[in-house]
Chains A and B, each alone.
Chain A
Amino acid sequence: DVVLTQTPVSLSVTLGDQASISCRSSQSLVYSDGNTYLKWYLQKPGQSPQLLIYEVSNRFSGVPDRFIGSGSGTDFTLKISRVEPEDLGVYYCFQATHDPLTFGSGTKLEIK
């Protein structure tokens, strides 16, 4: 199974600063069709997860441009510039390239 290793486990950020989360895969996430099915989700306290980024770098509808996904192959990063109070929660990467599909273990973002 593909293991997604997220670092750091938790992150404390001052409002207005940048946050960066890494997601490393145990296998390449490039699918046979050439696409890379790596997503980023945010689960705010008490809510269902919400999609932020799909296929590495595409922002989902309504997601602010402060959220930037990047990477390729096995190494991926989510950057949040100018962190705002509503950004707190747990961030998960998720791969849908290989069966079984898998999530990273999550990164908890706290506001200082």
Chain B
Amino acid sequence: EVQLVESGGGLVQPGSSLKLSCVASGFTFSNYGMNWIRQAPKKGLEWIALIYYDSSNKYYADSVKGRFTISRDNSKNTLYLEMNSLRSEDTAMYYCATISGFWGPGTMVTVSS
């Protein structure tokens, strides 16, 4: 059974940093591209980053480009999202998702003073 479990969310102050993790199991993680997608409270879905299966290519939404970094460690079946210079508008549930369509339950990030 495919499982994705995100962690690392929490309450942080504007301007601070946070690193999210997503541990994958039940499939060959190293074969699949991975996404981070977020959803602000009561809002729609926003794609924010994609990484190829071998980390050869990375893509970002303009809203996070230059502040967020997607990475992965295939030896640990883990996807990461390093978030810097956080803003109140980054407050959202953050989901990791395979390009093949599986999603985790999400981890909540709240940016507030």
- Interface size for B (C-beta < 8 A) is 18
Chain B residues within 8 Å of A106, by CB: 44-45
Q: Are A48 and B101 in contact (CB under 8 A)?
A: no
Is B32 located at the chain interface by the 8 A CB criterion? Answer: no
Q: Which residue, of A1, A49, A54, A102, has the highest number of chain B Cβ atoms within 10 A?
A: A49
Is A88 located at the chain interface by the 8 A CB criterion? Answer: no
Is A13 located at the chain interface by the 8 A CB criterion? Answer: no
Interface positions, chain A 66-100, Cβ under 8 Å from B, are 90, 92, 94, 96, 99-100
Chain A min CB distance to B107 (Å)? 11
Complex-state Cα separation, A104 to B45, whole angstroms = 8
Q: Are B61 and A39 in contact (CB under 8 A)?
A: no
Chain B residues within 8 Å of A99, by CB: 59
Is B52 located at the chain interface by the 8 A CB criterion? Answer: no
Q: Are B99 and A96 in contact (CB under 8 A)?
A: yes
Q: Are B47 and A49 in contact (CB under 8 A)?
A: no
A92 partner, pick from B44, B59, B95, B99, beta carbons under 8 A: B44
The residues of A with any CB-CB pair to B shorter than 8 Å are: 1, 39, 41, 43, 48-51, 54, 60, 90, 92, 94, 96, 99-106
**Contacts A48-B106, A49-B45 given; 9 further ones with Cβ under 8 A?**
A1-B62, A49-B95, A50-B101, A51-B101, A90-B44, A96-B99, A100-B61, A103-B46, A104-B44
